[in-house]
Amino acid sequence: MAVRLTKNNLCKSRNKPYEVRGHNDARNKETSNKLTKDEEECVKQDAGSDDTVSYPCISARQPYAGLMLNGFKTIETRWTPMLKELSNQTVAIHIAQRTWEGDEWRDGLCQRGLSHMQIDCIVTEAENCARGSIAGLIDVGETWQCSADDSSDDGNKATEWEKDALLKPLEEKYLTRLTNPRWLKKPIKSRGQKGVWTVTIPAKNI
C-alpha cells in the first residue's frame, strides 16, 4: 500500500543514519533540487535530527534509473499498472544491481541531438551513484496503457511517448508520466524488491 507524504508520516528512527527499513507494500539541473512543499517544511523543521519520511519505492536498472533522476526519461514503462495507485505521489528510486539489456535509450538520446560524448558523460555521472541503493525521488503522474491503436493512428502518439520513455516498442505496456526528479544528498544502501515497497529516508538526506 502506498504511503502519502504527510507530517504524520514522520517518525523517530532507531536505526543508524541512512539505514533503511523496508517491507512489501503496495535532472536535469533545473529540477533536481526542487522539493515539494511538504518536503521543504519537513527538512526545515527536522534538519539535524533523526526523523524520517516514508515513501513508496520502485527499482530501476541503469542507465534508466540515472536517466530518470537526471530528467531525461520522463515516462516510466511497466507491464503492469503498478504505479497507477501512486498518481500525484512522490516515489523513491532504487538503483538495481543489474544493467538494462539493450541500447534503445542511446538511440533516443541521439535523436534529441546529444552527442555520443555527452551521452557517455551522462551515464558515467549516474554510475557514480552506487548500485543497490536508493538514490533519489520523483513525482508520479498519470498512468495509461499504450494500445495498438496508439501505434497506428495518424499522429502516432506512441512515437512521441517512445521519445520520452527512451524505449520502444511500447504497445500493451503501461506508461506513467514522471516529473520533478531530484537526487538524495547521499545514496542509501538497500536491497531491491519486486513491485512497490515502502522505505524510510532521513529528512536531512532529502
Q: What is the pLDDT along the chain (206 residues), one digit of tens a residue?
A: 343 333 333 333 333 333 333 433 434 444 445 666 666 655 554 444 579 999 999 999 999 999 999 999 999 999 999 999 999 999 999 999 988 888 889 889 998 889 999 999 888 877 777 789 999 999 999 999 998 777 665 557 888 899 999 998 898 999 999 999 999 999 999 988 999 999 999 999 99
- Can you give the pTM of this predicted structure? 0.73
Question: Within 10 A of 78 (CB to CB), how many other CB atoms are there?
Answer: 15
Please name which of 3, 5, 72 lies closest in space to residue 36, comparing C-alpha atoms: 5
pLDDT on residue 7: 33
Residue that the C-alpha cell 537526471 belongs to: 70
As given in the structure block, the three cell numbers for residue 50 are 533523526
Report whether 79 contacts 148 (CB < 8 A). Answer: no
Residue that the C-alpha cell 516529473 belongs to: 179
Cα 187 to Cα 20, 41, 65, 93, 120: the distances in Å are 11, 21, 13, 10, 22
* CA–CA distance, 120 with 108 (Å, rounded to integer): 14
Can you give 92-141 as a three-state secondary structure string? Answer: EEEEEEEECCCCHHHHHHHHCCCCHHHHHHHHHHHHCCCCCEEEEEEEEE
As given in the structure block, the three cell numbers for residue 140 are 508520479
Q: Are strands 90-99 and 51-62 parallel, antiparallel or unpaired?
A: parallel
Report whether 201 contacts 43 (CB < 8 A). Answer: no
